Chain A
Amino acid sequence: MTSSNQYDAIVIGAGHNGLIAAAYLARAGKKVAVLERRDVVGGAAVTAEPFPGYRFSQFSYVVSLLRPEIIRDLELPRHGLKILPLPSTVTPMDNGDYLAAWDDHDLTRQELYRHSPRDAEASDEYGRVMARAAKAIKPILGLVPPDPSSLSLRDMMRMLKVGQYAKSLSEKELYQIAKLLTMSAADLLNDWFEFDPLKGTKSASGIIGTFLGPSSPGTAYVLLHHYMGEIDGAFRAWGFCKNGNGGVSAAIASSAHALGVEIRTNAPVQQVIVKGGRAAGVALANGDELQAKVVISAADPKRSFLQFVEEKHLPGEFVQQIRNFRVRGSSGKVNIALSELPDFSCLPGEGPLHRGAISISPSMEYIERAYDEAKYGQFAKNPYIDMIIPSMIDRDMAPPGHHVMSCFVQYAPYDIEGGWDDAKREAFGETVISTIERYAPNIRRAIVGKQVITPKDIEAIAGITGGNIFHGELLLHQLFFLRPAPQWADFRTPLPGYYFGASGAHPGGGVMGAAGKLAAMEVLKDWK
């Protein structure tokens, strides 16, 4: 074996978390390799060109949660990261009217006032309360979860940190967080608002990526999770990455590369090599073996522990817990190439709505009923759809005059009755098109091409078991010190030398990067 196959650390998977973990390790002077199964880096943050000239953020499609300190530490703007704001959200209504949230506070307020003076009054206060709660809970994102059953010094120190954090909060903040962690998005929003399209649109943040309806307890937390993003210090702002979300990955990869990380694509990992009870490297599918002092998996928990590591190297209890980890995919994606802009009957012609998000979420009940269908094994016949038209923000995404539209769709269950096949995928795509058609009648004739992605496809292409966009649902019993398994939430695993740093670890999913960074930091702590 040549020394070129010897590393300090090997990272499995070049998704954003894997790349970030690798970059931080390289920054600390380690020799690091990232191994990617596919021919492109980025994992679920990739830009693809399924039709010549039309480029799409294939899976994840907006940015907000990416941690600002990571952007700073890895100098991502210097490496090409450019985030363009998504200024508005428009919800077309069934009566031909619409609800809009513009990037102008007064306009938004006026607009809401038109529908419900009461909600317009409540809206500012709600925004303040949620922003406060998000700010209050945010430090948790940077904490290594303690093992509450452990009496080790390390865990006691971590407990102390959690305690100190809790002490820093006021009584009101504590209760607010406790409530938000446990209640349903529907209960939360019903307490504040009355206007159905407003509640529907807001509740959507509470169900994205989960297999729950807005009235399920725990969805208020998912809603809050989506409130924790910031762009340039502006809380709750969502943006679109220049060149699509592949642009995020490209910037991180470029930064990692500059720091000396070796990135190998087309290098699927077969297995983690274990020597003397320690992870000692990996064997690739082509038979090559790479040696390393530590191995970090940025794949999902199921792959990381049930596929890459032989069962005999892990405690039975732990294996069982990983088997029990819930990874039910619930969302799909339809990427549409268009010859003209969709013309929404509620706001005809080209307008500012095309530069923001367009949300098919007329009410919470609409979304709840969509969930009901999915929980019994069908895709929703009337789905929640979040549309954006990246070519309106970044002209390079489509040929001149043409457009690309990204539609995030929920619910589409991974475990659809009878299993997914081409006919069901086609039917799912058709459901999405005909749903949009109700609000934008020209959509069908504008379609140049469409790519339909089911949870099964997310699994097959991005390598995420179950097709869950968070590598595991953000359920209460899968958060913090329980993510991915009790006693192993500190990015270490029962196999010494093997670490875990992806969305399936604390603090969970979205293009956030916190798990990758925290894992790298823990690796470095153990190094000393």
Chain B
Amino acid sequence: MSANKRWDTIIVGAGHNGLVAANYLAKAGRKVLVLEARDRAGGQLELHAGGQLRPDIVRELDLTRHGLVAGTPAPYISLLPDGRRLVLSAADAAATRGSIEQFSAKDAQRWPEFVAFMDRTAAFLDAAYRTPMPRLPHVSLAEGLPLAKLAWTLRRLGGKDMFRVIRAMSMSTIEFTEEWFESEELKAAIAAVGIHGFTLGSMSAGTGYTLMHNWLNRGGLGHRTGGTAQIGDALVAALKANGGELRTSSGVQQILLHRSRATGVRLNSGEEIPASTVFSAADPRRTLLGLVGAPDLPTEFVWHVQSIKMRGSVAKVLLRTDGAHGLPAGTLVVAPTLKYLERAFDAAKYGEIAQHPYLEVTTAGDVVSIHMQSAPYKLRGADWVDARADVERIAIETLAEHLPVLKASIRDVRTITPRDLERDYALTEGDLNHGQLILDQMFFMRPLPGWSNHATPVDGLYLCGNGMHGGAGISGGPGRNAAQALLKV
């Protein structure tokens, strides 16, 4: 690499969104450099056993050619205390029906209608995530047309679905699922997806929306399995093919400004790299307060950035086993009742680790990956050095109650606490989503009202991570949207 090469765009962070943005810019002929603090690309992808990039991004960036494997649909299985299992499988309608019938014949009958409704809802949400959010109230024609189109998409759902969608956004999953089903087991299994990854409970307003969001990203309740691990590598391969560059072990210390315009970055090593524009795939708080710094931003804006709600409450417990863990393939959950989920969330409110947590478990070969809620970033009267062992114990015990052979199969345990997520993966307060997906932080309010179009008060600095509109999850949507926003200018 020539030291004096002039970059069009530097991208901070080689997570999936940073890489997606970089690819689109490189494809459009921009000279792009991606800087990653860690020694490898992919960000938090390595923590997730499930999750897919949006299909149109896979297609447009030709990622299959670069080694991306499409995930395959797998069942969603709720493990119940009495040993029964509720198995919901998109691929096997008859089996799903039979499984729900164990709990309610009425619900089994209603299920296909529910899935169809959720799919239509997800399609609308998908359209919303592709539509740039305007600055209110002076919506320009360029912003207004896509918005009008989006409103039309909503209208086209028909009066009944349209209101269902609008209402469900602010409802709690308990309210939402009660309007569809009677079986507690089924309602809780659905609600679990609504709170997955968020510091919310089944009774929190707005979990109707997060349910839709996760349904969209997963393509249903369960994850497609396989492929997640290759996303990072495929994106890097594509980037190279598009002429972009990636430098790992190159943490950015500062975004450089000249007269409130971004002019490049300074690395931890002291090296300064100039560029015409800077993209940050780091979370908004870290980018704006950490990499730019409050003194260079308007006071009121700083205040708003400080109050972005980042509150991670997820811990990951990864088990390397000898293979005889006894887990079936698919997405497994410990979410027996709606109140169980709410109680697991209650703990987070008071800075405690849930003694009876909500678990979602996936397997990749010998590795069992446990997602555990709640394990809040801010613990009260304890610190994460001591609490790590508690999380490990509670997660394993809770799962082993359902799978007695599990314990004997464990060879090695790696626990990632919210503190680790912050330190090792640069996720402020351990928030996997770069900001909670709550009603006052979505659409035109994500990350901040008036700033959802990827620009910032610093000219030439754009945000492209999960903290943006359409973010939270592995869709890559914000990365693509940000690149489009720049390319349009």
- A interface with B by C-beta (< 8 Å): 148-149, 166-167, 169-171, 174-175, 178-179, 181-183, 187, 191, 212, 215-218, 317, 324, 326, 365, 368, 372, 375-376, 475-477, 482, 486-487
Contacts and interface: CB of A to CB of B under 8 A. Distances in A.
Contacts of A486: 159, 163, 166-167
Nearest to B311: A187
A218 B439 contact: yes
Interface residues of B, number: 35
Give the 4 A-B CB pairs with smallest separation, nearest first: A175-B449, A476-B170, A182-B439, A486-B163
Contacts of B339: 376
A501 to B, nearest CB: 22
A476 B205 contact: yes
Nearest to A186: B349
A261 to B, nearest CB: 36
Given A324-B179, A375-B342, A179 B440 contact: yes
Nearest to A163: B137
A178 B166 contact: no
B204 A217 contact: yes
Contact of B346 (A183, A191, A326, A372): A372
Contacts of A482: 163, 166-167
Contacts of A475: 170-171, 205
B163 A212 contact: no
Contact of B135 (A171, A317, A376): A171
B309 A187 contact: yes
Given A171-B138, A217-B205, 12 more contacts: A169-B137, A171-B135, A174-B137, A175-B445, A182-B170, A183-B438, A191-B307, A217-B439, A475-B170, A477-B168, A477-B169, A486-B159
Contacts of B346: 372
B211 to A, nearest CB: 14
A187 B440 contact: yes
Contacts of B155: 149
Nearest to B350: A365
Nearest to A478: B167
Interface of B: 135-138, 155, 159-160, 162-163, 166-171, 175, 179, 203-206, 307, 309, 339, 342, 346, 349-350, 438-440, 444-445, 449-450
Determine chain A's interface SS by DSSP, over half rule. helix
A246 B349 CA distance: 41
B349 A178 contact: no
Contacts of A476: 170, 205, 439
Nearest to A485: B163
Contacts of B163: 149, 482, 486-487
A87 B412 CA distance: 65
Determine chain B's interface SS by DSSP, over half rule. helix
18 contacts: A174-B449, A175-B450, A178-B440, A183-B438, A183-B439, A187-B440, A215-B349, A216-B204, A217-B204, A217-B438, A217-B439, A218-B170, A324-B179, A475-B205, A476-B439, A477-B167, A477-B171, A482-B166
A477 B203 CA distance: 14
Contacts of B179: 324
B160 A317 contact: yes
Contacts of B349: 215, 368
Contact of A182 (B159, B203, B440): B440
Given A149-B155, A179-B445, A171 B205 contact: no
B206 A171 contact: no
A212 B205 contact: yes
B440 A167 contact: no
A218 B170 CA distance: 8
Contacts of B167: 477, 482, 486
Contacts of B162: 148-149
A212 B167 CA distance: 17
A72 B350 CA distance: 48
A217 B204 CA distance: 7
A477 B168 CA distance: 8
A476 B175 CA distance: 13
A368 B168 CA distance: 24
A226 to B, nearest CB: 18
A438 B300 CA distance: 42
Contact of B159 (A166, A216, A487): A487
**Which of B170, B206, B307: most chain A CB closer than 10 A?**
B170
A142 to B, nearest CB: 20
A32 to B, nearest CB: 33
Contacts of B440: 178-179, 181-183, 187, 217
Nearest to B303: A191
Nearest to B443: A178
Nearest to B159: A149
A148 B439 CA distance: 21
Contacts of A217: 170, 204-206, 438-440
A475 B172 CA distance: 10
A253 to B, nearest CB: 37
Contacts of A171: 135-138, 450
Contact of A477 (B137, B138, B170, B438): B170
Contacts of A149: 155, 159, 162-163
Contact of A174 (B136, B159, B169, B307): B136
Contacts of A179: 440, 445, 449
A167 B137 CA distance: 6
**Which of B163, B342, B450: most chain A CB closer than 10 A?**
B163
Contacts of B205: 212, 216-218, 475-476
B203 A375 contact: yes
A482 B167 CA distance: 8
A169 B166 CA distance: 23
A77 to B, nearest CB: 39
Contacts of A375: 203, 342
Contacts of A212: 205
Contacts of A175: 136, 445, 449-450
Nearest to B200: A217
Contacts of A187: 307, 309, 440
Contacts of A178: 440, 444-445, 449
B449 A166 contact: no
Nearest to B163: A486
A167 B349 CA distance: 38
